Structure 1
Amino acid sequence: MEEVKTNITLDFFRISNLLNRYGAKMVSEVGLTSIQQWVILRTIINRVDISIGELKEEMLVTKQNMTGMINRLQQLNLVTLFQDPEDKRRTRVKITEEGIHVYEQLKSLRNDFNAQTYHIYNDQEIMVLSDLLGRFVEHLKVE
């Protein structure tokens, strides 16, 4: 069983490398420089507006790294920053119209990629895979 677990771990590393390769190609097609920028845009869209601290927690990066990524997105006019009305010490992030446009382009590329990638599974297998991977991520976040 230890050999199987090791193979799974190594497969995750290989999958990560492959997904990074495909993801980098997708984000470059819409003018982004990193997959993390895509994840940030998606997180902001899903949460409407979010604090930099909340984004940091979601992305599992340092506040310094998050601030740098947000500043680059702001320079591209994809997000805007504003002071939290309830806590003046907190900075919140909101997506701009241009950010929504870029995200919609990515969504189309993502949908094409998903169709090519996940057709080897049926809907039930996709749901099981999603559940297993989600549990694994949550477990590793605690470690």
Structure 2
Amino acid sequence: MDSKVKIIMNLLRTSTLLNRTGIKLVEGTKLASVQQWQLLGIIDRNEGISLAKLCEETLVTKQNITGLVDRLHKADLITTWTDSNDKRITRVGITSKGKETMEEMKPRTEMSNNTTFVNFSEEELNQFDNMLERVVNSLLPESNVKKGRKE
């Protein structure tokens, strides 16, 4: 089999396995999905992030982000506000309940990551990360995702 085909097949398999692992990790928490966990983590690391930037970070459409944000807001995990300089921009922040949820996820995440990457050196992890970044950047133009949206 062509190495490029093997890589694509392995990336697809990896995606499926990561989703299954993520579902197990969020079980019993205030999070209803892996996507909510991903979004909450991005918001936690980027207080005041705009909805447009969330779309860009997650490669999810504005409609889907809006639904995810609404569900996280209803669960009191995040808060939203209108940007004081540009009323067209909605910003998102994490609540204390959201921070508690991220703290609850931290040991689960660390244990899972340690198990997943036990056979990799730090150098290999950095190389792997760089290669995946390059794959993502190669795929972005084909996916009709616009980079550099207005903040």
Alignment TM-score > 0.5, same fold: yes
1:121 pairs with 2:120: yes
CA deviations on 1:24-64 (whole Å, 9 max, x unpaired) are 11112322111111111111122111111111121111111
Letter in 2 for 1:57: E
Map of 1:8 onto structure 2: 7
Alpha-carbon shift at residue 141 of structure 1 (Å): 1.4
- Higher relative CO (Cα under 8 Å, sequence separation at least 6) belongs to 2
Letter in 2 for 1:66: I
TM-score, length-scaled by structure 2: 0.89
TM-score, length-scaled by structure 1: 0.94
CA deviations on 1:81-139 (whole Å, 9 max, x unpaired) are 11101111211111000001101111211100011110111111111111111111122
Aligned length: 142
Superposed CA RMSD:
1.2
**Structure 2: distance between partners of 1:54 and 1:113:** 28
**Structure 1: distance between partners of 2:86 and 2:97:** 27
Runs of 4+, deviation exceeding 2 Å: none
Secondary structure class of the residue paired with 1:80: strand
Decide which structure has greater helix share: 1
Letter in 1 for 2:101: V
Sequence identity (%): 39
Map of 1:71 onto structure 2: 70
Map of 1:21 onto structure 2: 20
